[in-house]
Structure 1
Amino acid sequence: MHAVILAGGRGVRLRPYTTALPKPLVPIGEEYAILDIILQQLRSYGFDQATLAIGHLGSLIQAFVGDGSKWGIRVDYAEEETPLSTIGPILNFLDRLPEDFLVMNGDVLTDLDYLALLEHHRQAKAPLTVATYQRQVKIDFGTLETSDGRITSFVEKPTLAYGVSMGVYAMSRKTLAPYPRNVPFGLDDLVLDLLARGDLPCSYDFGGYWLDIGRPDDYDEANASFEKLRSVLLPSGEAQ
């Protein structure tokens, strides 16, 4: 039961909050760092090992998490000397991982059942499983289609729905083994290569709570709603 937490990004979109802190350590609800919540959740689902891929301000993450004993999880680290995108860092420590493992961004707040995702991946025998979420976006304009200079359809301020990646994945060593190490390689590169080879990834549709804390507005929303979501996000016993 091994999880990889991607915590090496610079958090540029979340500045000024990330000027002095790496994004996984920004506080939520004045009591917890995002990474604290994630580690509590992982342990509650039975994960007993985690590898943190660190880079920008990684020493602060190491000082905060240590060996993981506070959460009952054995934690080790893999440090990026240069940015390697989403999948690139994992390729450098692939031999330390079991055949099937969880990968997640270190800035995600969700009540997703991580164990259920990993079990779904194993049962599907998929090369990759992506946790997906339906987002709705309200368009503030009338949208239209044209043909030969004529308007053929018109919708006033529609709401568009589309599936997005939650930044949480289940992966297998045999899928990643063929790719080269020490070069930038993103999830988009992996998915497009799998699609081109006809080795289709699996989706794991989720309808609970999910927030990717990428921008100041997202961070403000997370803090504003944390008290209402405390019992959802924190394992039983920590939510009191």
Structure 2
Amino acid sequence: MKAVVLAGGKGSRLRPYTALIPKPLMPIGDRTIVEILLRQLARAGVTEVVMCIGHQAALIEAVLGDGSRYGLRITYQREETPLGTVGPLRLVEAALPERFLVMNGDILCDLDFAALHGAGEASGAPLTVAVCERASKIDLGVLDLDPAGRVVGFREKPTFTFWVSMGIYAMSRSVLRFIPEGRPFGFDDLMHALLAAGEPVATLPFRGHWLDIGRSDDFADAQEEFERNRQRYLPE
């Protein structure tokens, strides 16, 4: 298996930490977040990783090296200008096999990456998204209105549950034709393009542990979670 790790962002929501340290190198316990991810990928059977980097690219290259210490072969693709969350895939198109994994480089989770790769192959869809449920509580009274504006229902501080993207995907090369060259293109743009074209988008529902460390409170939660359940993420 081959994986593309997207690690080119500036991590603006984690400032001031990311003023000196790129987000993928933020420490979780005695590891960096991207090192945990790389070791998980190797354990799942991934042999090659392409790191798409931009902000503080030289530091990421110096720390991770050729990947041999993680049981992988790592190559790098620098973004001269930011290309969004899926735009960098066009830069590495020539290096991609028919099926591959793509993920953000700042995620702490215990997803079975081999199972995601298998789900992508089984679905036959150009894109398979790892999804998990997230609850969102509304701290207000919510009114249901009919077309005339009359109240027909009321819920006090309800909680709504949504399926959300985890920033981890299984893709086929056919998805690349929807990604333009040389300009920013995000996951949201890709979803709209695929749905507009009538292309199937599959999912792999996940009910394990997942945290995106993009915000300071999530970063603190990830620290605590990793220290409590280290074996879940990095089994000996």
User: Which residue does the alignment assign to 1:133?
Assistant: 132
Q: Distance in 1 between matches of 2:41 and 2:149?
A: 56
What letter corresponds to residue 167 of structure 1 in structure 2?
G
**What is the distance in 2 between the residues matched to 1:197 and 1:179?**
13
Q: What corresponds to 1:22 in structure 2?
A: 22
Q: TM-score, normalised by structure 2?
A: 0.96
CA distance in 2, matches of 1:27, 1:175: 33
Q: Map 1:71-86 onto structure 2 (within 5 A).
A: 71-86=70-85
Aligned residue number for residue 114 of structure 1: 113
Runs of 4+ with >4 A deviation: none
Indicate the larger mover: 224-233 or 101-110.
Answer: 224-233
**Conserved in 2, the CA contact under 8 Å of 1:91 and 1:177?**
no
| CA distance, structure 2, for counterparts of residue 226 and residue 44 of structure 1 | 18
Query: 1:47 aligns to what?
Result: 46
SS at match of 1:98: coil
What's the secondary structure of 1:131's corresponding residue? Answer: strand
1:4 aligned onto 2:11: no
Shift of 1:151: 1.9
* CA deviations over 1:4-58 (Å, ceiling 9, x no partner): 00000010011111110111100012x0100110011000001010000000011
Distance 1:100 1:28 in 2: 30
1:177 to 1:224, Cα distance in 2 relative to 1, 3 A? same
Q: CA deviation at 1:178?
A: 5.5
Give, in whole Å, the separation in 1 of the partners of 2:9 and 2:169: 17
Give the aligned partner of residue 99 of structure 2.
Answer: 100
Listed as ranges, the gaps of 5+ residues in structure 1 are none
Distance 2:227 2:10 in 1: 28
Specify the SS of the correspondent of 2:226. Answer: helix
1:152 corresponds to: 152
Q: What amino acid is aligned across from residue 191 of structure 2 in structure 1?
A: V
TM-score scaled by structure 1?
0.95
State the partner residue of 2:181: 181
Paired position in structure 2 for 1:142: 141
CA root-mean-square deviation: 1.1
Taking only the aligned residue pairs, the percentage that are identical comes to 51
Aligned partner of residue 86 in structure 1, secondary structure: coil
Asked if 1 retains the 8 angstrom alpha-carbon contact of 2:141 and 2:156, the reply is yes
Q: Secondary structure at the match of 2:220?
A: helix
Asked whether the 8 Å contact 1:55–1:81 carries over to 2, the reply is yes
Cα distance between partner residues in 2 of 1:116 and 1:224:
27
Show the counterpart of 1:165.
Answer: 165
